[in-house]
Amino acid sequence: MVKWLGVAGLMFSTLTASPLVLSDPVRINGGEFEPPVLLDKERLSIEINSFMLDATPVTNQLFLDFVKSHPKWQRDNIAALFHDGNYLKHWPQNNAYPDGQADHPVTYVSWFAAREYCAAKGGRLPSLNEWEYASVQYRQQQNISDDDYARNLFAWYSQPKSDEQRVNVNATELSHMYDRVNEWVEDYQLLLTNGDDVDLLSGSCGDGARFLSSFTKANYATFFRYQSRSDYAPQSSTSTMGFRCAYDISSDTIASNGDQL
Amino acid sequence: MKSLSLSVISASILAAAASVSAPIAFADTELKHDSEYVIDGKVYGLPEAKVYREDYSGPAVVGDYLTQVPNLAKLDYEGNKTHNVRMDVFSQKVEVAPGVSYSAWTFGGSVPGPVLHVREGDRVIFKMKNRSDEEVTITKPVKNGSPFLQQVQANTYQNNQPVVNPMPHSMDFHSGTVAAEDKWRTISPGETIEFEWIANYAGTYMYHCGTSSVLMHTAMGQYGAVVVSPKDGYPTDADKEYVLVQSEHYLEEVGDGEFIYNHDAALNRQPSHVTFNGHVGALSDSPLRADEGDRVRLHVLNAGPSGTSSFHVIGAIFDRVWYEGDPRNEWYGMQTVLLGASNSATIDFIVPEEGIYKLVDHEFADAELGAAGALIAGPRKDK
């Protein structure tokens, strides 16, 4: 499995021909996904197409490479509209991250900046459903029980600062989905405040059960991730928000790789 | 629109009538915004909340009538007043039992947060910055801080230390009557919210964070008490007055002395600790004080988030109980008051003799987990 993912990732990175991609994105095979949080009560099951996803959150080094080649996304140059004043605030200089943190996930990045980075890589932010679908596969790969997943997720939220923030930039399988940063997704505001179709109670009075396909600890934990992130502004740049990118798989890639969608 | 303009007209008539009948005592209850109106002497229709970014790193708690539990600020003014109150929201490592500390989410840096004391009819202009992504220290002297900060510095029983844990938060004052999706809305780290509310009803009210998961946000420490004293006072005069907030904590050890919130335990209502004023020793290390023959008044709030409190004082009978602190809800001669989550009672009792009076949640499982304290009574003073 791991090896196969690596092959797919290699093919992809040669196709994009980006010198900045250090680790290969991994292929997430599409399939049926039963969302733990029912954003649409009529859709108990969703079809997810195959896609590629960065194995780890984007690191300081990668983001530095990006801002060097895209000066308007440097801290001194970023448009006020795209951040909350704290963009890359932990970097000592406009073009330097803190010593020894090359392989730490980049934080203090707004949703706008994360999107721009991914677009520059020929990708995009994963959708909420894609990220959660990958998360379920990650739990299976890592053999994380539902109870441990829930417990660890709430533990991370109650104390997100860990001494260990490094990620393995050469990872060949999904890594650090829960234990480093909270990650932006494309449609992160879906549940609460986006558009006209906002739920009346918005889950804000502790009525999570209405939204869950079944009231399990794991689903409740996932619901908490949806909701707490949904309360951020797209300009929010905090010490715990990072991201990873997703990439569409072109039909050429699929044909040459011989895989099914 | 039609009904709105009608109510504005009737509001101004009512306001005019009110100012004739009580021109001095409650002059400040005048309507301030065009949107406001009056029903039964209570003001409604407050303007929309403002959310903005400000460059602020001053004292996290500002206002003359904010105190550390169990203290209650003295209302040293006549009639009504407009209070400018700031209570920032940020993370703080707090101790709830010896050797048991966790990274709490707090209003003002303590669990429970500061006590706000106002009078029925007062207006509160409230401001809160979400500073959860920065370190905020409350144990060092600052200029223009509220009495709360001085009291924490004098009695740092939670050993409060700054930590960073960015989260969206909100503020829900049970003492306010407003459209919750406006005033109690969630703000991101770095944002400030500002809104007004009128203390329309006398009583002791909970405030808390209403951001999902509200169970987690409250269990993490985001609650406190507002005491709204009746405009005509209570029927009795107390010699001593204190505030007591009961709450549950759901913690598990993850390292040497390091504790974190246990959501599973919170859902299953299995607290690791139940405290008065946020620490198992808060009211035994620093007991309440009174003298024999005193009439002691306690404003007791059960913040929950999920449990009840059967509040009892060993050796005393509650001479009067005003449920929720409203003087119209008067009971006599009670041994125990049952408080659901976010219920409160204002309780008078006479201290019968010099001695030690234990305060307990008579649900003894809770008392065993920490819900106990003491009032120490000195000898009777000449009256």
Confidence of residue A256 (pLDDT cuts 50, 70, 90): very low
pLDDT at A261 over 70: no
Min CA distance, A164 vs chain B (Å)? 15
Is the ipTM value over 0.85, yes or no?
Answer: no
Residue B234 located in a structural domain: no
Structure tokens at B35: 């949107």
Confidence of residue B9 (pLDDT cuts 50, 70, 90): very low
B174 Cβ contact list (under 8 Å, min separation 6): B205, B206, B207, B208, B226, B342
Percent over 90 (pLDDT), chain B? 89
pLDDT the model gives residue A44:
80
- Residue among B268, B240, B263, B243 at smallest CA distance from B252: B263
pLDDT the model gives residue A158:
87
Min CA distance, B264 vs chain A (Å)? 7
Nearest to A206 among B188, B213, B260 (CB): B213
Confidence of residue B236 (pLDDT cuts 50, 70, 90): very high
pLDDT the model gives residue A204:
57
Return the residue of B nearest to A199 by Cα.
Answer: B181
Residue B179 located in a structural domain: yes
- B164 contacts in chain A (CB < 8 Å): 161, 239
Q: State whether A231 and B188 contact (CB < 8 Å).
A: yes
Q: State whether B216 and A154 contact (CB < 8 Å).
A: yes
Confidence of residue A220 (pLDDT cuts 50, 70, 90): confident
Instruction: Give backbone dihedrals phi and psi of A61, rounded to 5 degrees, phi first.
Output: -60, -45
What average pLDDT does range A109-137 have in this prediction?
97
List the domain range (segments joined by +) for residue B160.
47-229
The domain that holds B63 is classified in CATH as 2.60.40.420
Nearest to A85 among B53, B181, B216 (CB): B53
Confidence of residue A35 (pLDDT cuts 50, 70, 90): confident
pLDDT, tens digit, 9 for 90 and up, residues B44-62: 999 999 999 999 999 999 9
One domain for residues B199 and B298: no
Residue B383 located in a structural domain: no
Tell me which of B210, B229, B248 is where a domain ends.
B229
Q: State whether A228 and B212 contact (CB < 8 Å).
A: yes
- Number of compact structural domains in chain B: 3
What average pLDDT does range A148-161 have in this prediction?
88
One domain for residues B165 and B284: no
One domain for residues B40 and B53: no
One domain for residues B96 and B171: yes
Confidence of residue A258 (pLDDT cuts 50, 70, 90): very low
- A205 contacts in chain B (CB < 8 Å): 210, 214
Size of interface A-B (CB pairs under 8 A): 101
- A161 contacts in chain B (CB < 8 Å): 163-165
Q: State whether A233 and B191 contact (CB < 8 Å).
A: yes
Query: Which domains, ranges and CATH numbers included, belong to chain A?
Result: 2-257 (3.90.1580)
User: Quick check: A227 contacting B, CB < 8 Å?
Assistant: yes
